Every structure is written in structure tokens, then in C-alpha cells.
Amino acid sequence: DFWEFPTVSMGLGPITALYHARFNRYLMNRQLDDTSNSRVWAFLGDGETDEPETLGAISLAAREQLDNLIFVVNCNLQRLDGPVRGNGKIIQEL
């Protein structure tokens, strides 16, 4: 019913989720499988959104109009190597 796979905080999680959502859309458009009710959830940290790969994935998801992809961002202002840059308005920056 669902897949779960952890990723590291290098911006790989959003890209993996993005291509999973695109593949579900591909299956539906080619009528290979009915994935119309499928959703891909990606749980990210706000420190991970500093990575350029994450920002690229967000913009690509918007361009592709992937309404089956949901990003949940945990805004705890922490990274593995210290506090998140900026003033805590991470959602406004995205």
C-alpha cells in the first residue's frame, strides 16, 4: 500500500519524491496503472531546504504541476552543522 524510505539531509529526499510522483503520473498517462488516487508525501527539515537540489525539486514540481506530491517541512531552525540561516522565515523564502 505504501513505500517508506529514509534519505539523508543532502537534498536527495525531495528529488526522490519528485521522481516517484512523476513516475506515478507517467503510469496514469500511459494507462499502465490507475495511480489517480496515489499521493507521494515527503517529510523534509528546514535545513534541508537550503540545499540547491531541494529548491530545484520544488520548482520542477511546480512546472510539472504535480498535484500528487506533498512536501511537509519541519521548521525547527536546526541543521546537522548548526542553526538554519536566516531569520526563521523559511516558508516565506520558499
Q: Give pLDDT tens digits for 33-84.
A: 999 999 999 888 877 777 788 888 888 888 999 999 998 888 877 777 777 7
Taking alpha carbons only, the member of 19, 4, 8 closest to residue 68 is 19
CA 25 to chain centre: 16
Q: Give pLDDT tens digits for 19-35.
A: 999 999 999 999 999 99
Domain boundaries, the chain: 12-80
